[in-house]
Amino acid sequence: MTTALRVGTRASALARTQSGLVAEAITAGTGRETTLVTVSTEGDVNAAPLASLGGTGVFVSALRDALLAGEVDVAVHSLKDLPTASAEGITLAAVPTREDPRDVVVARDGLTLGELPVGSLVGTGSPRRVAQLEALGLGIELVGVRGNVDTRIAKVRSGDLDAVILARAGLARLGRLDEITEVLDPIQVLPAPGQGALAIECRASDTELVDLLAEVLDDPHTRAAVTCERTVLAELEAGCSAPVGALADVVEGEAGEELWIRAVASSLDGAVAVRRSGSGPFSDPVEVGRKLAAEMIADGAHDVMTPDVPSSEEGK
């Protein structure tokens, strides 16, 4: 009898839902039984401000440690939480088809951002969102907020906040799209690199499992797009919580499939930003990302970004 694959997940409702979807896809595609194993991460159990927790990887490291210790066979992450540097002994085996990567508003009384009165309290834990929302000049007051989807939306329902900004992908996976009052156009607010995508990791030494997960779960278009976005982030030397937005799409060009990417690097107050777009071959997402990042750096991207403020956008 084949032993069930142990799928490591964080404890939040969103994380367990995402991991459950992956586990079901593994079983459907391979016939292998799976079981979810909950792993507590520092970002989950420590209520201190994320800025004090060390930033990049606070929602990822414990799952990776469980992989390397042989406690789980597969780890499921929100891809935007992954550090851009690779982890020794661990392979990104699959990036499944991406959900809609855009940000959304959940506001009182069904309001959009533009309809909120001046001075309205809008919650977000993301420096990227703060920078881009400040640049819109709407007169809203942005308030730092932590917690899972339920916690954040509850602050709107209770009247503590007038609105919160979340990732559409999380609400889609939780079946809560009807609570959205506005979907933000990426022209206004570019999502985080990798937003809407999942990352499926396993031990590099489990080569048979790596190949199996890639065959069953990996989506080449999604992987190319997020690789391009994360290359921009890495080349800008910015952490996953930096005020950097990027979104790549696979489009049909004259010579076949191409990648088209747009990105922004902002000051935290949104007063200054470097925006660029570019395109290149679908077959080389790293080079497309590097080229765009180099242009942004030449335009002063490093000068406008303030030091990285550790945070995470998981579940938002």
- 84/162 Cα distance (integer angstroms): 34
Closest residue by Cα to residue 202 from 17, 68, 305, 18: 68
Question: What is the structure's pLDDT at 91?
Answer: 97
Q: Which secondary-structure segment (H or E) carries 139?
A: none
Mark 142-177 as b/e (b = at least 16 C-beta within 10 Å): bbebbbbbeebbebbeeeebbbbbbbbbbbebbebe
Q: Residue 53 — pLDDT band, cuts 50, 70, 90?
A: very low
- The confidence score (pLDDT) of residue 99 equals 97
Give CATH for domain 226-304.
3.30.160.40
| 5-96+197-219: CATH number | 3.40.190.10
Q: What is the predicted pLDDT for the residue at 105?
A: 98
What are the sequence ranges of the domains in the chain?
Answer: 5-96+197-219, 103-183, 226-304
Give the type of residue at 212: L
Whether the pLDDT of residue 51 is over 90: the answer is: no
Provide the token pair at 287: 């080079």
pLDDT in tens, 176-215: 999 999 999 999 999 999 999 999 999 999 999 999 999 9
Q: Nearest CA to 235 among 288, 167, 279? A: 288
User: Rounded to the nearest 5 degrees, what angle is found at the Cα of 80, between the Cα atoms of 74 and 83?
Assistant: 75
Coil, helix or strand at residue 202: strand
Catalytic residues: 81
Q: Does 5-96+197-219 match 103-183 in CATH topology?
A: yes
Output b/e per residue, 75-85; b: 16+ Cβ within 10 A: bbbbbbbbbbe
pLDDT digit string, tens, across residues 245-277: 999 999 988 878 999 999 999 998 889 999 999
Q: pLDDT tens, 95-126?
A: 999 999 999 999 999 999 999 999 999 999 89
Residue 314 clears pLDDT 60, i.e. is over it? no
Topology, domain 103-183: D-Maltodextrin-Binding Protein; domain 2 (3.40.190)
